[in-house]
Structure 1
Amino acid sequence: MAPRPPSRLPLTGRTPTSRARGARTLLAALVIAAVAVPVSGAARPTAVPAPAPAALAPLRAATPEALARRYAANRGSILAAERMATGHGDRRRAAALRAFADPARHFLSFDGRDGGRGAEVFGDLSTARRIAVLVPGAGISVDAYGRLRAGAVALRRQLGDGSAVIGWLGYETPAMVGRAAVTTGRAEEAAPGLRAFLGELHRARPAARTSLLCHSYGSVVCAEAAPGLDVADIVLYGSPGTGVGDVSALHTPATVWAGRGGDDWIAGVPHVQLRLPFCTIGFGTDPVSPEFGARRFEAGDGGHSDYLKPGSVSLRSLARIVSGGTGTGTGSGGGRHA
C-alpha cells in the first residue's frame, strides 16, 4: 500500500513559502528514488523480438467491411508476433498474444515490436454514436494489459448500446518507479501517435462524439497531444499534473474535465516543476485545483486504480461525460461545454 498522501497531514505553523520548500524537498526525494532505485525487469518487455506488422490501408470509413479487414490484418500481425515470442522462449508474452488473437477481439492497430503497441475496440465502432478513447498511465504493457482491458469493458457496459470504447496502448508507458515516470519524455514521444490515431478515427467516424479519457501519466500524454484535437472532451483523472499551468495552455476547444478519488495516493505528489540541467522533473499545477480551470467531476472515494471499477461513482461520472452529460461536476473549463 502507498503511504497516506503528505498533503493530508496538518501544516499548522507553516508559511506558504515553507510549504512550497517542503514540497520541493519531497519531490527531490521522489526524483532521487525514481532515478536511483533499480526496476526489476525494466528492460524485459522490449527484449522480446517481434516482426514488423502488416501494412494497413488508411481507414477511410468505419464500415463493417472495412473494420473486418482491419481487424483481420492485425490478428495476423498478432499471431506472427506470438510465433516469434514462442521461438524466443518467452511464454508469458506468447500467452498474452494468443489471448489478443482471439477472433472475438478487435484491434484497430497492433505492433509487437519494442514492447508492443495496440488499440483495441470494445463495442461496434461502425454504429457507435459515442466513442471513448482510454489513454493509460504507467505500468501498462502487452504483458500487463488486464487493468486497461477491464476498465474498457466496464465503461462500455456502463455506456450501453450506441457506444464504443477504445483502449489505446500506443506508447511505451513508463515503469511505476523510474525517472521516465516524473518527466514528460515518454509523453512527448507518444503525442504524435495519439494525434494521428485520433485523426484517423475522426475521418472514419466524423459524426461520432469522441472523448479522450486520460489516466495518471496518460494525462501528460493527452496534454502533449491536445492542441488541435477534434474531440468533445479531454478528461484527466488520477493525474499527477499535465506539464502545463492551466487549461488555456492546452490550446484545445474541447471541454477539459478533472477528477480525483478520495483515496488516490496521487494527491500526495507535489504539484511543482524542477528544471534540472538534463530534464524537467514534475508536472506542475494540480488539474483538480481552481487555478488549473478544468471542470470538476465527481470521482468518489476510490483509489488510483479504481476510476473504471464497476459500480463506482467515478465510472458513472465518466460515462455521463462521454454521453454528453455534465459528470455532475463543478467549476469551469476551457472550450465547448457538454
Structure 2
Amino acid sequence: MPIAGRLAGRRHLLAGTGALLAAPALAPAARAQGRFPDRPIRLIVPWPPGGSADAQLRSLAELASKTLGQPVLVENRAGASGTLGAQFLTTQARPDGYTLSQMHMSVVRRPFLVRTPPWDPVQDFTHIIGLCGWMFGVVVKADGPIRSWQDYVAHARANPGRLTYATSGIATTNHLAMEELSAREKIELVHVPYRASNEAAVAVASGEVMSVADSSAWAPLVEGGQLRLLCVWTAERSPRFPAAPTLKELGYDMVITSPYGLSGPKGMDPAVVQRLHDAFHAALMDPANAAVRTQFDMPLEYYSNRDYRDFIARRAEYEQAMAKKLNLRID
C-alpha cells in the first residue's frame, strides 16, 4: 500500500479510537439526569404548621417521597401573606428541582399591587402541577348575637367600622372577597390580618375578633360548638356543613376556591419537571391525600404542568385587571 494510503488509514483508525474514548465522558451526565432525585427535595409551605394547606402538602410530600425515592422535606416559611416561598424561589433557589414551593393566588396577585413587581408570575417560575383549592367561609362566635349572614350584614350596617373580621393576610383572596362583599352591601368592616387561618379561627373563639373569613381551619371549632358558620364560598353546599348557604344562594354571583399548586424556579429541566409532576400527581390521587382534602373540604383542582402554566397566565391577567378596577395598592 502506498505511504499516503497507510497514513490515511492510520488517521481514520485514530479518529475512530478517539470517538470511542470520548463516548464514556458523556455517560455520567446522562446517568446523573436519570438519577434525579439523588438527595432530599425541599418543599416550602409559606404558612405556619397546622392549617389546611400545610396538612395537605405534608401528606403530599410524604406520599411523593415513596415514588421519588428521596425525602420531600416540608419547610414552613410564614409571613408576607404567604409569599415568602415565591420570594425564595426567585432570589435564592437553583432551578435543579430540589427546591419547590406552594404557588397560590397571592403570589400571582402581588406584582399588580406594588410599585416594583418582585416577579412575573408566569415567566419567573416553573409551574409543575395544580393541586386543589380551599373551602372558604365566614364564621362567628357561636354564643354571639349574629346567627346568619343576614344578621352579619345588619350588624355591620348598624355599627359601621366596628365589626371586625380576620383573614390570613392582606390582599389574600379571602380578604379581597370580603372587600367586594362589603362594597356590594355598602357596609364598613375592619380587616384584622393574621399569619394563618387556624390562628384567626382561634382568635374568634377567644373573642379577639368578631369573625373570620378564611379556609376551613375553623371547621373543628364549628363542629365543637365554639363557632358558627354563616356561609361557604364553594359552588355547592358543603356535605360536612349542609346548613350553611353558599354565596350564590345568598344572592352573590361568586364562587371562590382559590386553587393552588406547586412551582419551582424558572429554567428547570423539562424531564425533571415531568418526574416531579408524575410523583406529585400520584400522591394527589392517593386515597390518603384524598382523605386529608376531605377532612378540610378542599376541592380537587388538578392541572398538568402545561395546563397549570396556562391557568396561572389566565389568572395573572384577571388579577391585573381586578387590581386596576379596585385601585388596589399595598405599598
| Length-normalised TM-score, structure 2 | 0.27
Q: Which has the larger radius of gyration?
A: 2
What TM-score do you get using the length of structure 1 for normalisation?
0.26
Structure with the larger RCO, 1 or 2 (CA within 8 Å, 6+ apart): 2
- Which one has a larger percent helix, Structure 1 or Structure 2? 2
